Amino acid sequence: MNSNKTIRIGTRDSELALWQAHTVQKKLNDLGYTTEIIAVKSQGDIILDKPLYELGITGIFTKTLDIAMINGQVDIAVHSMKDVPTALPIGIVQAAVLERANTLDILVHKGNLDFLEENGTIATGSLRRQAQWLNKYPNHIVVDLRGNVNTRMQKLNESDWNGAVFAAAGLERINLKPTDFINLDWMIPAPAQGAMVVVAMGNNDFILDAVSQLNDVETEICTYIERQFLKTLEGGCTAPIGALARYCELEDTFVFKGALLAIDGKEKLEIEKIVPVEEWKKLGFLCAQEILEKGGAELMQTIKESLKK
């Protein structure tokens, strides 16, 4: 099987990104491959003073690694799948999706929860989390919070905010999940939240063969459904969209939940569908079409216009 080629694993240099890269490295090493990790700083980590959507780039966290891969400096890149644009650059392919971790968003708070009944200030850099929070707590204020997980946790501790919203998986992976948190099971996660993806050049058979052994089919299908929903709705712009697909073994079905919200949370279009297992291929697309027909097209237009301002 094994040529003596070293697989060069590209990653961002945050603690979480490195954890993900080391996880992939260990799995490849266990299969008998030789690997090395190459850490690269991304623009998304460098420019912290602007909200992500203002930077006007989808894939700000993945772009630097894409370029390193196209230039032949790294062979594969490991990402949180929710950060990866639905359309990959020409020549780059999805090589494996690893088994999914916790999909939930959590609220990390500072002890007292009275603010949930009254006025509160919550921090998040995500339009999706902001919109869902304001939909449930319209009298709250949501402030922007950027940076890697460690930076965001530190900013929360130094602030007078009541709490901040994080992906549970990220905090769990690097043991940063505090005792004061609430599972936000009412919040629909980002498409592919909790999943890690490995991308590679589509013409490198040795690499694709190696990495394909890490693929988890159930996670691959669920994230495909969620990302298809996202892609059909937004067509390349950022919008408050949540999506979660699950396989139900007992019934042999896929259960899908999706939502599109106005940025201020005042409007919310939701869909829930259960389909037999063989109907998964168009599930995300059909659910998105239904949302677009129920007022989603107009809502997307409004979102695009407000983000241009």
CA distance 187 to 169: 15
**Under 8 Å CB-to-CB from 196, ≥6 apart: which residues?**
20, 23, 24, 78, 79, 80, 81, 97, 98
By 3-state DSSP, what share of the chain in percent is helix, strand and coil, each rounded to 5? 40, 25, 35
Q: Which of 141, 149, 136 is nearest to 266 (CA)?
A: 136
Q: Which of 256, 264, 260 is nearest to 239 (CA)?
A: 260
Lateral strand order in the sheet of 181-183: 141-143, 121-123, 163-167, 105-109, 181-183
Distances from the Cα of 81 to the Cα of 2, 60, 78, 111, 160, angstroms: 28, 13, 9, 32, 31
Lateral strand order in the sheet of 196-201: 34-40, 6-12, 76-80, 196-201, 92-97
Q: Which of 52, 63, 87, 89 is nearest to 10 (CA)?
A: 63
Contact 257, 234 (CB under 8 A): no
Candidate list 30, 83, 114, 185, residue with the active-site label? 83
Neighbours of 48 (CB within 10 A): 13
Does 105 qualify as catalytic in the annotation?
A: no
The residue behind tokens 């040529």 is: 3
Q: Give the chain's radius of gyration (CA, Å).
A: 19
Active-site residues: which are they? 83
